Amino acid sequence: MGPDPHPGLGRASQHPDWKLPSRRSDAVRAARSSLTSSRGPLLPHVRRGVPAFGGQRRSCVSTAPGIRGNRGRQDREMSAPGSTNPSSSGSYSQSSTPNGGAAPPRQNGPAQTYPSMYASTGYYGPPPHQQSYPTIPAHSTSVPNKTSITNSAQSANYYENNHQQQHHVAPAPYNTPCTSASPSQPYSAPPPSNTQYSQQPFQQQQQHPPYATPGSYYGQQPYHGVPTTVQHPQQQQNPSLVPAPAVGPGAPLYPIVSYPSVPGSGQYGTLSPSQSTSTPGVMPIQMSAPLHQYNSSQPTSTPPVHPGYGGAPPSQMVPTVNGQGTTAQTTAHQHYDPSHQAPQSYDSYGRVTHSTGGPAADRPPSGTPSTSVHSSPGHHQGMQYGYVANSGTSAASATTSGPAAAPSSSSSDDDEEDEDEDEEAGGETSSSTTGSASPLPNSYDSLEGGSYPDSMPPSNDMTNQAQSYSSYGYHTMQPAYRQGPASRSDSSPSHDLYGQPSYQQYSQPFPDLSQLSAALGGLSGVPELEVEALRPVNLLQERNLLPPRPLEAPEPNLSADLRKVNCSPQTFRCTLTSVPQTQALLNKARLPLGLLLHPFRDLQQLPVITSNTIVRCRSCRTYINPFVTFLDQRRWKCNLCYRVNDVPDEFMYNPVTRSYGEPHKRPEVQNATVEFIASSDYMLRPPQPAVYLFVLDVSHNAVEAGYLKYLCDSILENLDKLPGDTRTRIGFLTFDSTIHFYNLQEGLSQPQMLVVSDIDDVFIPSHDSLMVNLKESKELVKDLLTSLPAMFSQSRETHSALGPALQAAFKLMSPTGGRVTVFLTQLPTLGAGMLQSREDPNQRSSSKGVQHLGPATDFYKKLALDCSGQQIGVDLFLLSSQYADLTSLACMSKYSAGSIFYYPSFHHLHNPAQLEKFQRDLGRYLTRKIGFEAVMRIRCTKGLSIHTFHGNFFVRSTDLLSLANVNPDSAFAVQMSIEDSLADSSLACFQAALLYTSNKGKRRIRVHTLCLPVVNQLSDVYAGADVQAITCLLANMAIDRSISSSLSDARDALVNAVVDLVSAYKSNVSSLQQSGLVVPASMRLFPLYILALLKQRALRTGTSTRLDERVFAMCEFKTQPLQQLMRMVHPDLYRLDNMSDQGALHLNDTVVPQPPLLHLSAERVSRDGAFLMDCGNVFYLWIGKCCNEMFIRDVLGCPNYASIPPNMNHIPELETPLSERVRAFLDWLQDNRAFSSTIHVVRDDASAKSTFFLHLVEDRTDSASSYSEFLQHIQQQMSK
């Protein structure tokens, strides 16, 4: 071959895995130094990362104080009036109650959406949460209350708390107000405020255990119980202080509280009184020390606060929120409803409380050392500890509560505490990195209506606090708070904290390795967990590798606030959630670096932003995103190119809060996925209307297949649901050996058919009447659709002139652009673009290699490029029973960003399964969202560059994809390479911006931003490896390889990818010189997935595979979103006949059992069971010969095994509990799937069982090895 035709593939620098010949050179050379310990690297890198941020912050410091000072003054002014007004208390309490009342609805809303949440966050083992959710509604409100309560109870912990304390304290004297207020609260607790609080936690515990481990709550309880008694003394002391503040002097206090950043010492001094009273000596000292540090290191007041406290921040938030919440409570919970994350945050609150309480109480001892640490200026860790210590001490210092709390907290698991620490640590770091993370207010629309975007969680707290306030009669405070938060960004950090705790909670119930490691991402805290992800797994010994639940995406090892705001893994996923610092490190790791994108995914919540100026970096044009750094109020630093930009005036105003001067609270900065309504700057021409053209094959073959009737029915049915507005246009075009146009001009009595028989030089018979306005000509269109199937029923024309028909379609559409949908049933045999049958049926099962994977002609590709230029997308439905050269035909969709559907052996009578699938797909296809004239640009942090794109599109530039149409079901993959070292930043960001015209004629930009940590240790890279994403990316690469080179080459490359990984890991990381195949736990499924890949239709050899099916499988690999792809590659196998309710989900009154995943091996399948295999687009329900009669009767509705019909494609809706559970489980699996899957009931003795067993990828087949053989093969390869 001389020079390698695809040299890139061989270049180590580009993608190491693919370098067949010298694959081990680098690996072996890899530094043994890294062996020293996997733990070693972690801490250093943490430290390294943090200071950088601190540095950035520092710059802010100078500016910040001034602003703060002003605000403080404002606050005071505000607070003063409010305080005087005693009557307001009643109103407040009332308003707060609405919130409480509102909470349930909010919960309900989210509850439905939860599944999506899970997926997106990826963390939590889904089952428990969902269980808990239903119960939530009542509690949700209580949870926040509790947190706030706890905070107040723990007041010792915080300056923030001090506020609360004061409030609380104050109430003590005025018991009467409390009582009066309390009734208004949903949870009508006994009058004493303290008791109320304590009660609430209890309720929570009892009602939904899943949320938090009981221990944590217990910890809280004691607090509450004690506080009532204990706090009063404090309070009483305080009262003297407090009352005054309320009127005049009190005002200064509040500002201080809300802005922790404010000169720490001074504030604390003021605040401390409450604490100092209890523990005079200790508290002030410790407090002050940490504060100073904060001030120095971190400019913004808020960030410092939450890091240390974990728990405390909520309290901060609360006040601020309360201020807002009380006034606009209704609005506040509006956004709660939309936001998925709200529930999390709530949980987190619960958590937060105990974290502060529990750990804090225990900490005191640790506190002293830590304080010493933090005295060294730079280190956040030190800071953390210091804070913790503070909190702890403070807790202790709140002497009364202290003792009680300490034991209680100790009762909770030590582990938990550790985790808390970790998370707190994470919180700190995170806070330091970016100050502007907040829970997602998902529906910006509603937000714009006037609700406050920033604070879902806070609002809850707010309600509580508000209540408390009102009860205490401290309403006066509220105005101050309101102002404070509004003006300040402080609230955001506190949110971060919230997020952290929630993670913990989720992770705890499910100690799955990956989940745990993902969940506990706090930088400093992680070591143990990362070690877990890195735990060497000897594949030859460990057989049970599958997690009990489908694998979730690993969470990047980011601080919690960043993680919380990060893009959903369903939308944006990276193969390495820890990006290696240099290409050399990447090569050493032997893993591909790439992104998997699903940019136009159907989102349930999406902030849509309308503004005149879309804020972007001036040099790299990056859209502003949550990961930028605000240097001060007027400048922000791009996180991709590091350029410092100005914040435009308009951006200073926040339409959501209607406040000025808080750019970091804008929804753009609060959400990693946002959508902008673009101005005319983003248009090359006026936005096009939605235009649909259907090109239908009506040759004899098509009539035989009988698709036409079903298609027309489906279009008729969905005619009103076609996405579009009043401008929507539609047209039809049919072809056999000639081309038929249909004049649907309004005013005609019936559609006119115009026949063009000159297929060598196609012309358009009439220019304005063929594509007609759907609204105006709806009757004609309906006429046509009803008559069309009959019109050609007698057709004897066997030829198909697809090429000319496409040319005609192109001419029809080129003035507007739009979507062309082609239905084809046979090989095109006439005119331009005619194809010959190239498949040799005898070669279908040959293992030598597959020919004709490349197109036979470039006609379709050129046509597609022309179409792409005119913004026309071509979608292909191939319903052929014969070979139709999909290889060539697919080009028309590949390069015009279309989608491809293939129904092999389609026949309306003989193949009901395909017919059903066809109908379902059509239903989805016709009504799904669509974007026109789209382009997508992917930007990434300086130093990273895009190597290759995978998917359906035309690449216009190195980072720009041209998408004539964009649909919500297609995904993209991107290979990345590291050009320059990323050493100067600790975060790598990727931003995908999709500019499209919506079906309503609006130009919109959807922006997704993903943020990942950069690491310089190989072990970290492995710990962050996302095995599913890697598998999918490798599959894409393998398909490219098989087309450009050969199939066997691609297969070898896949095997080598495994060999490379194992040997690289062995030589670089694993300190144990074990024999056998050792891989990190995060990659333990990798060989299995690769083996499954090799057995896929697209890449298998030896098994008879029709060329079209193979090519279609390849196309699917390129365009399917990751989740779907993984189910296709490695189906999920469940046993259904003995499902227990253990771990079942409770969703909307239905119980969804969660049977564990089974390995795809025949040894797991037994004759006496019923097994469900979820292959993504199809389910197989395999019924064993000796299957429980009851199952067959109750679920399938057949008396016994023998009477199960051979072609059963549905599960009857029976009233039996078993059937209900099975169907609930199936429905649950179908959720969030764009195209609903068909189900096949497969009897053990049916011929169809071979397809079922073909999916058992761990088993040996005639032509492919079993999993253990594969491992042995790998081992042999390694020893070579």
Partner 1 sequence: MVLKMLLIIAFDELKTDYKNPIDQCNTLNPTVEKVKKIKRVKIALKLVLPEYLIHFFFCVMFFCAAEWLTLCLNLPLLAYHVWRYMSRPVMSCPGLYDPTTIMNADILAYCQKEGWCKLAFYLLSFFYYLYGYVFIFTP
Task: Give me the residues that bind partner 1 (CB under 8 A), please.
Answer: 2-3, 5-9, 11, 14, 621, 854-859, 861-862, 865, 894-895, 937, 945-949, 954-960, 975, 977
| Residue placing its CB nearer to partner 1 in the complex, 2 or 281 | 2
| Residue placing its CB nearer to partner 1 in the complex, 218 or 1117 | 1117
Query: Which residues fall within 8 angstroms of residue 1090, CB to CB, at 6 or more apart?
Result: 1031, 1034, 1054, 1055, 1057, 1058
State the minimum distance, in angstroms, from the CB of residue 956 to partner 1.
5
Instruction: Note whether 395 and 402 are within 8 A (CB).
Output: yes
Instruction: Note whether 82 and 479 are within 8 A (CB).
Output: yes
| Residue placing its CB nearer to partner 1 in the complex, 743 or 948 | 948
State the minimum distance, in angstroms, from the CB of residue 627 to partner 1.
20
Nearest to 658 by CA among 509, 505, 486, 531: 486
Environment class of 960 (CB within 10 Å of its CB; exposed 0-12, middle 13-18, buried 19+): middle
State the minimum distance, in angstroms, from the CB of residue 304 to partner 1.
38
| Residue placing its CB nearer to partner 1 in the complex, 53 or 949 | 949
Q: How far apart are CA 587 and CA 324, in angstroms?
A: 52
State the minimum distance, in angstroms, from the CB of residue 57 to partner 1.
30
| Residue placing its CB nearer to partner 1 in the complex, 513 or 865 | 865
Alpha carbons within 13 A on the beta-carbon side of 1181: 25
| Residue placing its CB nearer to partner 1 in the complex, 291 or 1050 | 1050
| Residue placing its CB nearer to partner 1 in the complex, 271 or 964 | 964
Which DSSP string corresponds to 962-998? EEEEE-TT--EEEEEEE-S--TT-SEEEEEEEEEEE-
Q: How far apart are CA 840 and CA 856, in angstroms?
A: 15
| Residue placing its CB nearer to partner 1 in the complex, 545 or 641 | 641
**What contacts 24+ positions apart, CB below 8 Å, involve 646-650?**
647/615, 648/613, 648/615, 650/611, 650/612, 650/613
State the minimum distance, in angstroms, from the CB of residue 869 to partner 1.
8
**What contacts 24+ positions apart, CB below 8 Å, involve 34-39?**
34/1017, 34/1018, 34/1019, 34/1068, 34/1069, 35/1068, 35/1069, 35/1071, 37/1071, 38/530, 38/531, 38/534, 38/1019, 38/1069, 38/1071, 39/527, 39/531
In 10 A of CB 908, how many CB atoms? 17
| Residue placing its CB nearer to partner 1 in the complex, 830 or 1018 | 830
| Residue placing its CB nearer to partner 1 in the complex, 11 or 727 | 11
State the minimum distance, in angstroms, from the CB of residue 891 to partner 1.
9
Instruction: Note whether 329 and 441 are within 8 A (CB).
Output: no
Q: How far apart are CA 573 and CA 553, in angstroms?
A: 8
State the minimum distance, in angstroms, from the CB of residue 1074 to partner 1.
37
Residues linked to residue 996 through DSSP beta bridges, in sequence order = 1004
State the minimum distance, in angstroms, from the CB of residue 14 to partner 1.
6
Which residue's structure tokens are 């896949």? 1054
State the minimum distance, in angstroms, from the CB of residue 702 to partner 1.
28
Cβ burial 246-282 (10 Å sphere, 16+ → b, else e): beeebbbbbbbbbbbbbbbbebbebbbbbbbbbbeeb
Instruction: Note whether 490 and 665 are within 8 A (CB).
Output: no
State the minimum distance, in angstroms, from the CB of residue 947 to partner 1.
4
Positions of E strands within 165-236:
none
Cα dihedral 349, 351, 353, 359 sign: negative
User: Alpha helices of 298-413 — where are they, by DSSP H?
Assistant: 302-309, 312-327, 329-336, 341-362, 364-375, 380-397, 401-411
State the minimum distance, in angstroms, from the CB of residue 8 to partner 1.
2
State the minimum distance, in angstroms, from the CB of residue 441 to partner 1.
31
Q: From edge to edge, which strands make up the β-sheet containing 1132-1135? A: 1132-1135, 1170-1174, 1178-1183, 1238-1243
- Reduced to 3 states (helix: H, G, I; strand: E, B; else coil), residue 861 is helix
Q: How far apart are CA 570 and CA 554, in angstroms?
A: 11
Tokens of 679: 């101005």
| Residue placing its CB nearer to partner 1 in the complex, 309 or 859 | 859
| Residue placing its CB nearer to partner 1 in the complex, 1041 or 1159 | 1041
State the minimum distance, in angstroms, from the CB of residue 957 to partner 1.
4
| Residue placing its CB nearer to partner 1 in the complex, 376 or 957 | 957
- Reduced to 3 states (helix: H, G, I; strand: E, B; else coil), residue 938 is strand
Alpha carbons within 13 A on the beta-carbon side of 779: 7
| Residue placing its CB nearer to partner 1 in the complex, 916 or 959 | 959
Q: How far apart are CA 1240 and CA 911, in angstroms?
A: 13
| Residue placing its CB nearer to partner 1 in the complex, 857 or 1272 | 857
Q: What is the 3-state secondary structure (H, E, C) of 736-756?
A: CCCEEEEECCCCCCCCEEEEE
State the minimum distance, in angstroms, from the CB of residue 1046 to partner 1.
13
Phi, psi of 652 (to 5 degrees): -70, -25
| Residue placing its CB nearer to partner 1 in the complex, 14 or 451 | 14
State the minimum distance, in angstroms, from the CB of residue 601 to partner 1.
25
State the minimum distance, in angstroms, from the CB of residue 887 to partner 1.
10
Cβ burial 166-191 (10 Å sphere, 16+ → b, else e): bbbbbbbbbeebbbbbbebbbbebeb
Query: Which 8-state DSSP code applies to residue 1142?
Result: T
State the minimum distance, in angstroms, from the CB of residue 824 to partner 1.
20
| Residue placing its CB nearer to partner 1 in the complex, 671 or 868 | 868
| Residue placing its CB nearer to partner 1 in the complex, 993 or 1125 | 993
Instruction: Note whether 89 and 473 are within 8 A (CB).
Output: yes
Which DSSP string corresponds to 1039-1065? HHHHHHT-HHHHHHHHHHHHHHHHHHH
State the minimum distance, in angstroms, from the CB of residue 955 to partner 1.
4
